[in-house]
Amino acid sequence: MTGRERNRRITDLGTLKALAHPLRMQLYRGLTVARVATASHLADQVGEAVSLVSYHLRKLAEHGLIEEAEPQSADGRERWWRLSSDGVSIRDEDFRDAPEKAAAHTAASRLFAEDRMDMYRRWLDERTHWGAEWNRSAESSESILRLTADELAELNAEMLALLRRYEERGRAADAAGGADVSPGRENVSVHTYSFPFRA
């Protein structure tokens, strides 16, 4: 753990809308992976102009989603950024009290889901380049369970606790020296969706 807030809970419409923008989502993910980066580093990743990336980084910062980081080089002209928390959480209950808030939450959730599905599609297109070891380890599955709402909440809490354990293991390896200490470590995205449905 870094001592920062874990999964900052977004409860206001302005912050939700600030994050629910395709380019800002890419920049947020880029900072999640890089931990610290400049606008020019992120512009290279997303294929956009540095000025546009800088503008969107400032918008994320205005809503407290990112913050300035300690300089990572001697170049005083560079502005370094990092996440202000170890992730965010967005809950339906915080956006139910007005129709426009509920609509914005639904639109944002759809955008997040589409973005995650695009990541998975990219993996499907590129998996032949990853080799047998990664193809054997990657997983896609669906489980149909019969649960109560409380059991579903318990299941989600247990899955998040397990993911956090592995996240902390990766962070500890990075802190100890990164790829030099633990060769073969890559960024891994885990997407889970759990929801009720009627057949």
pLDDT in tens, 7-46: 899 999 999 999 999 999 999 999 999 999 999 999 999 9
Say how far residue 57 (Cα) sits from the centre of its chain.
Answer: 15
Mean pLDDT value across residues 153-157: 96
CA angle 41/163/107 to nearest 5° reads 65
Q: In the predicted model, is pLDDT for residue 96 greater than 70?
A: yes
CA distance 14 to 4: 22
* Predicted pLDDT of residue 87: 87
Q: Which residues pair with 38 in a beta bridge?
A: 80
Over the stretch 101-142, which tens digit does the pLDDT of each residue have? 999 999 999 999 999 999 999 999 999 999 999 999 999 999
Q: Give just the sign of the alpha carbon dihedral 47, 36, 29, 100.
A: negative
Neighbour order of strands in the sheet with 37-38: 37-38, 80-83, 66-68
Contact yes or no for 141/191 (Cβ under 8 A): no
SS3 132: helix
Over the stretch 53-75, which tens digit does the pLDDT of each residue have? 999 999 999 999 999 998 887 77
- Look at 114-118, 166-170, 175-179 and tell me which has the smallest mean pLDDT: 175-179
